[in-house]
Structure 1
Amino acid sequence: MSIQSKHFLNTAESLVVDSLEGLCTLNPQLSLDSQNKVVYLSSRDQSKVALICGGGSGHEPAHAGFVGEGILSAAVCGSVFASPNSSQVRRGIDLVENDKGVVIIVKNYTGDVLNFGLAKEQYAALHPTKADRAKFVIVGDDVAVGKTQGKIVGRRGLAGTVLVYKIAGALAQQGASLDEVYDISQWVASRIGTIGVGLEHCHVPGTASSESHLSPSEIEIGMGIHNEPGNRRVSPVPPLSELIPQLLDHLLSTSDPERSFLPFKGKGNGDKVVLLVNNLGGTSELELGAIVKESVKGLKDAGVEVARVLSGTFMTSLNMPGFSLTLLLLPHSSDVNAPDSAKILSLLDAPANAPGWKWSSGQIPSSVTTTTSSATAPAAGGIQSEGEKLVASEPTAFINAVKTACKALIDEEPEITRMDNIAGDGDCGLTLKAGAIAVLKEIEEGRIAGGDVVGSVISVSRVAEEQMGGTSGALYSIFFSALAQGLQANRSPNTNTVDATLWALSVTSALQKLYTYTRARPPSRTLVDPLDALVSKLSSAGAVDFTAAVSAAADAALNTRDLEAKAGRSAYVEGDRLRTERVPDPGAWGVKTILQALLK
C-alpha cells in the first residue's frame, strides 16, 4: 500500500505552533509559550503537585492534548519526532513550579530523557532549595523490544505512558504529596506493556515522499511511533481473530525470556488488567470498534479479567494506519507494597478536563447483548403468497435465468467497481455482488423456485433489502416488491402461468411504483435509464419483444456515459471528470448486466 504523503498545513515549519495555537483556541483554560512550544494551564492550584511531560510532536493528542485539570499541568513540544531542547523544558518547569513540587514524565527515548533530564538538573542547580521537589519518571512499555536488544537503552515509551499521566494526574488533583504522586507514577510505569502493529509507516510533513515499506499483503508487528521498524512482518494480513491473539501473546507471556516483562500469574490466578486500544493515527473508528471486541474476547479466552477498556486516539504516529494494545496489570492481592487495585481504577475513572482524554464507561466491560429480528427465515419453498401460486411457463428455464443473471453480476463486479470509483462512492459493484450471492443461496435453499414466481420475486426483494442495503438495495427492493404486486394484479383469472405479456405488464407497473419514490427520470445517468428504455419498448404496440427491449435498455445504459448526472451518486461528482472519463453509470450497467443475462 502507498504511504499517505499529502498534508493540510501552511508550512511544515509552522505546523507544530499552528496546531498548538489551535489547541489553545479550542481549550480556553490553556496558554501557550509559542517560542518554547510549551502548553500549560493558565491558572492552576499551586497547592497541588504539578505534572509536566513532553517530547516530539506528531503523536497528538499526546502530549499537549492531555494538559488540563486532572491530568497534566504542562507539555513541552519539540518538532515532529524530535525532542524539545533543555531550555524549552526549563521554561516549562518554570511555568508550573510550586512549593508542592513537580513530577516530570517522559517516554523512554534518548533525546527526551537527556533533554528533560538536563533541564531537571539545571533547575536543581539554579534552585538548590527546590532540588528535591522535582522528580523524574521514565516510561518504557514497548514489549516488542527484547531484553537483550534493550539491555542498555531499555524499552521504548509508547501509548501506555498516557495511563501514567492520567493516574498520577488524578492523584495530584486530590492533593497527594510529591512522593505519593511520584511513587504511583513509578508503579504504574512498571506494570504496563504495549505492542503496536501497522499496515504501513507514516510520512513526516516537509520530507520527501517515500516508497511503501510494506507490500500490500504485509503488516508489521512491534512498530514504534517514530517509523522504527517492528520485530517481524506477517503476510498475508490475518483477520483480527488471528492477529489479536498474536499481539496479546507478546503482552501476556511469562515464558519468553526476551519479552516476559509483566508478572502475570497465568490463567485461573486472578490476573486483572486495564486495556487501552490506541489508534496510531490512520485507523478508522469502524475498525477500532472491531479491535476492541476481539481484544476483550482474546483476554477473556486467556483467562484475564478486563477491569476497564479505553479506546480511541491517545498517542499517534502522525497518520500511521495501525493501532497498539496496552495492558496495565492491576495489583494482585498478594503483591507487597502495591497500591490498592480499587484506588488505581478510581484514579483512572476520575474526571479529566483535557481534550485528549477519551470517554470511558468507568465500569467492567460486560458481555455484549445482541438482538436479532424475531422473524424467522422463510422455509424452503419460498415466501408463501396469498391465493393460487403463479408458475413460470418454463420453471427450469426461470431458475437457470436467475442463476445466470447472478453469476453475470458476480463476474462483472470488478468493472462495475472501477466505474463506481470514478462516478460514485466505489461500492456499487460489491453491493450488487452481495445481492447476487444471496439470491443464489435462496435458490440453493429452495426459497426461489419456478413453481412460485410471486414468492420468488418477494424473496429477491427481501434479499435486496437485507443483503444489499443502501440506495441500491432500497431501489431494487421497491422494484421487486412492486413487480410481485404487478404479477398478482395483472394475472389472468383463467391461468396460473406467467407468460411474456404478464411479465411486460408487471415490469411496467413496477417502474411506475418506483417512480413514486425517486425523482430520477431519464435521461438521468441512473439505473432508471435502462429500466425506462426497457419498459418503453415493452409498452409499444405489437407483440412483446424482450430481445428488442433488452437491446434498448443496454443502449440506454451505455449512453449514460455521455449524460450529465442529475440524480444518484454521480450527481456529486465533478462534471468535467465524468465527461473526461466517459464511464457509464455503474447502477445502469448493473441493470444492463442483469437483463442481458436473463435474456440468455
Structure 2
Amino acid sequence: MSLQKHLINDPADLVVESLKGLCTLNHQLSLDVENKIVYQANQDTSKVAVICGGGSGHEPAHGSFVGEGLLTAAVCGNVFASPNTKQVRHGIDLVNNDAGNYTGDVLNFGLAKEQYAAELHKTPIKFLVVGDDVAVGKTQGGIVGRRGMAGVVLTYKVAGAAAAKGASLDEVYNVAEWVAGRIGTIGVGLEHCHVPGTATSEAHLGLDEVEVGLGIHNESGNKRLKPVPKLNELVPQLIDLITSNTDKERGYVPFKNDGSDEVVVFINNLGGFSELELGAFVGSVTVDLSTRKIKVVRAIAGTFITSLNMPGVSVSLLLLPKSGESGAPKTEDLLSYIDAKANAPGWKWTSPQIPNDISKFTVKAETKPSPTAASSGVKVADPKAFIENITRACDAVVAAEPEITRMDTIAGDGDCGLTLKGGADSVKAAVKAGEITGEDIIADMVVVAKIAAKDMGGTSGALYSIFFSGLAQALKANASAGSISDDVWKKSLGDALDKLYTYTRARPPSRTLIDPLAGFIKELGQGWPAAVQNATKAAEYTKEVDAKAGRSAYVDSSLLQQEKVPDPGAWGVMTILQALFK
C-alpha cells in the first residue's frame, strides 16, 4: 500500500504553502499567491518567455523549473488538477515579453491563448501540447491523444535553453515541437500514490505485482506483471514499448533499430523510488540499449516530475535526428540545449558527455594474490559433522531472516535479517567451494571473519569479523597440532570475547548481540547444552532490557517495551548457536 500519511496543515493550503517554501529558498522567484504562479522576478524581456503549468503534486515540476535558462513562469493548479483560464491568463500577463510567449498545456492554456489573441495584443503566443506516453495505443487514444509524462520536462529544457540563447519565438516553438514528437515514455509502478486530504484506500496492487504504463495522476496502466520481475527482465519489456517499429499501436517514435539510432535517455523517479534502485535502473536501461545497438549520447536521471509519493519510475527516450534528416534541428544544437546550465532548483546536475560504458565496471580489477598461510595442523574432531553443523546453522539463519527483519523494522533500521542472511549464504558458498573444511580450523575461522567483513557489512559484520578473527588468534595460541579438544574450544571462545570487548563498550545486559554471545561463553563450563540454553535466555531477556548500545539505543524504549520485541542481533546469535549445537 502507498504511504497515506502526510505532514501538512490543511490540504486546501498545501499548494500555496509549498510554493511559498520554494520562493523562500530561491531569491530569483516571485509568487502570485492568488493565482498560484511562480515567475522570474527579473526577466530579460527581449527573449522569448516560456510558460508551463499543470496540476500540483508533480514536484519538482513545474514551479522548481522556473529560473534562468529554463522556464519563465509556472502556473500551478491544485493537486492533479489543471489551473483555470484566469490563472493562465494572468501568467501570460506577468511574462508579457517583447519576443513572445511559448505555453504548454491543453484546454485552459489554449483558452487563455485565444482570449489573449482576441484582445488584439501585439505580442505573439505559441501553444504546444506534449504527449509522450506510449502506454496509450493509437486506437485507444485516437481522440484524446497521448498523456504527458516525463518527456514534457525534457521539452521544457530544450525550449527554455533555446529561449535563453536568444532564439526567436518560431525557433523556440519549432525545436520544442520537434522534440515533443520524438520522445517516448513508459512508466512502471509498484503502487499508486495517495492524494493528501482524500480518504485512505486499500492497496491497488498486490505485494507481488507491478503495473506497467500507469499515468502520473494515478491512472491505471495497461498491464500488470506478477510476480514482480527482475530488472533485467522488466527493462527490455519497457524499452520494447518505446522502440518498436512493428507495433502499429505504439510505434510513435520512428526508431530504425538498425544500429543507426542515437538517443538521449531520461529516467525519472515518480516520487517514492529510492536513489539506490534508480541507479540500478539506469544501469539496466543503458545495458539493454547497448544490446540493441542504440547509442546513448546523453543519460539523465533523477526526480523531475512525480506523482506525489508513487513508488515508481519512468524511462523516456528522445530519438536524435539522423544525418541529413529533413526539417530536423541539428543534433549538436539539441545537445547544447540539453547540456546548457539551468539556474533552476528542479533541474539537477547532468553530464555533458556520452555516458560511460557500464561493461568496463563489471571487469574484476586485478589484485595480487594474498600469500598462502601455512597449514596450522589443527582440525576439529569430526570434520564431516562440523560441516553439517555449519550448514545447518546457515540454513537456520536464512529461514529466520523474515522474522529478524520484522524485529529490526521495529527495533532498528530493518537490515539485520538481510545482513545475517548475506553472511550465511556466503559461508555456505565457501563450504561448497572447499574453503571451509574443518581440516584446518584456524584457516576456517579466518575465512568466516573475512566473509563477515565483506558480505555482511555494517556494525554486525564488523563485530562478527572481530570475534572470528580473535577466535582464530586464540586457537592458534591455545591449540597444538592434531584434533582440537573441548577445553581448547572453550578457552579460545572466551579469549575471542575478550578481544571483542576491546572494540565495543557493550556489556550484558545491553540489548545487543553481546548478550547471548556472552551468556553462551559464560556457561561453557557447564557443557554445550547448558551454554546454548543460557544464550537463549539472554536473547529472550532482551525484550525487557533498555538498550544501552546498538541499534535500539536510538529507538523509543517505551515502544520496545510495548512491542516486546527482542534485539534482532541477539536473536540472530541465538539462532546460530541453537542450530550449531542441535
Q: TM-score, normalised by structure 1?
A: 0.94
Query: Following superposition of structure 1 onto structure 2, how do residues 463-478 of structure 1 map, counting pairs within 5 Å?
Result: 463-478=451-466
AA aligned to 1:366 is N
Query: Following superposition of structure 1 onto structure 2, how do residues 80-91 of structure 1 map, counting pairs within 5 Å?
Result: 80-91=79-90
Show structure 2 runs of 5+ residues with no match.
none
Per-residue deviation, residues 402-445 of structure 1 (Å, max 9, x unmatched): 22222222232233223222222222222222212211221121
The runs of 4+ residues in structure 1 deviating greater than 6 Å are: none
How far the C-alpha of 1:376 sits from its partner, in A, is 7.3
Q: Bigger CA drift: 121-130 or 579-588?
A: 121-130
How far the C-alpha of 1:471 sits from its partner, in A, is 1.0
**Cα distance, 1:564–1:128 mapped onto 2, change above 3 Å:** closer
How far the C-alpha of 1:387 sits from its partner, in A, is 5.8
How far the C-alpha of 1:597 sits from its partner, in A, is 2.1
Partner of 1:567: 549
Per-residue deviation, residues 544-598 of structure 1 (Å, max 9, x unmatched): 6223222222221221111111101111111111112222212112222222222
For the residues of structure 2 that align with 1:389 and 1:373, how far apart are their CA atoms?
33
- Matched residue of 1:412: which SS? helix
Q: Does 1:281 align with 2:267?
A: no
Q: Does 1:251 align with 2:242?
A: yes
- Check whether the contact 2:52–2:62 (CA below 8 A) recurs between aligned residues: yes
- Matched residue of 1:14: which SS? helix
- Check whether the contact 1:396–1:450 (CA below 8 A) recurs between aligned residues: yes
AA aligned to 1:240 is L
1:501 to 487, 498, 516: 487
Partner of 2:328: 338
Q: Does 1:293 align with 2:286?
A: no
Partner of 2:423: 435
Q: CA RMSD of the aligned region, Å?
A: 1.6
Q: Does 1:446 align with 2:434?
A: yes
For the residues of structure 1 that align with 2:229 and 2:344, how far apart are their CA atoms?
36
Partner of 1:59: 58
Q: Does 1:178 align with 2:160?
A: no
Query: Following superposition of structure 1 onto structure 2, how do residues 532-571 of structure 1 map, counting pairs within 5 Å?
Result: 532-538=518-524, 545-571=527-553
Query: Following superposition of structure 1 onto structure 2, how do residues 128-147 of structure 1 map, counting pairs within 5 Å?
Result: 128-130=121-123, 133-147=124-138
Q: How many residues align?
A: 580
Partner of 1:348: 338
Q: Does 1:121 align with 2:102?
A: no
For the residues of structure 2 that align with 1:27 and 1:531, how far apart are their CA atoms?
54
- Check whether the contact 1:3–1:210 (CA below 8 A) recurs between aligned residues: no
Q: Bigger CA drift: 414-423 or 367-376?
A: 367-376
For the residues of structure 1 that align with 2:60 and 2:375, how far apart are their CA atoms?
65
For the residues of structure 1 that align with 2:248 and 2:519, how far apart are their CA atoms?
72
Partner of 1:109: none
- Matched residue of 2:313: which SS? strand
How far the C-alpha of 1:377 sits from its partner, in A, is 8.1
Show structure 1 runs of 5+ residues with no match.
107-112
- Matched residue of 1:13: which SS? helix
Per-residue deviation, residues 156-190 of structure 1 (Å, max 9, x unmatched): 11110111111111111111111111111111111
**Cα distance, 1:193–1:387 mapped onto 2, change above 3 Å:** closer
Partner of 2:348: 358
Q: Bigger CA drift: 428-437 or 544-553?
A: 544-553
Identity percentage of aligned residues: 59
How far the C-alpha of 1:384 sits from its partner, in A, is 5.3
How far the C-alpha of 1:343 sits from its partner, in A, is 0.7
AA aligned to 1:28 is H
Partner of 1:9: 8
**Cα distance, 1:10–1:344 mapped onto 2, change above 3 Å:** same
**Cα distance, 1:440–1:327 mapped onto 2, change above 3 Å:** same
Per-residue deviation, residues 312-332 of structure 1 (Å, max 9, x unmatched): 111111111111111111111
How far the C-alpha of 1:5 sits from its partner, in A, is 1.2
Partner of 1:23: 22
Partner of 1:594: 576
How far the C-alpha of 1:145 sits from its partner, in A, is 1.1
For the residues of structure 2 that align with 1:525 and 1:470, how far apart are their CA atoms?
17
How far the C-alpha of 1:375 sits from its partner, in A, is 4.6
Q: Bigger CA drift: 581-590 or 85-94?
A: 581-590
2:318 to 305, 328, 333: 328
- Check whether the contact 2:375–2:440 (CA below 8 A) recurs between aligned residues: no
- Check whether the contact 1:310–1:358 (CA below 8 A) recurs between aligned residues: no
- Check whether the contact 1:385–1:454 (CA below 8 A) recurs between aligned residues: no
For the residues of structure 2 that align with 1:207 and 1:291, how far apart are their CA atoms?
31
Partner of 1:308: 298
For the residues of structure 1 that align with 2:395 and 2:142, how far apart are their CA atoms?
59
For the residues of structure 1 that align with 2:566 and 2:331, how far apart are their CA atoms?
63
2:414 to 426, 447, 464: 426
- Check whether the contact 1:388–1:496 (CA below 8 A) recurs between aligned residues: no
Partner of 2:44: 45
Q: Bigger CA drift: 198-207 or 527-536?
A: 527-536
Q: TM-score, normalised by structure 2?
A: 0.97
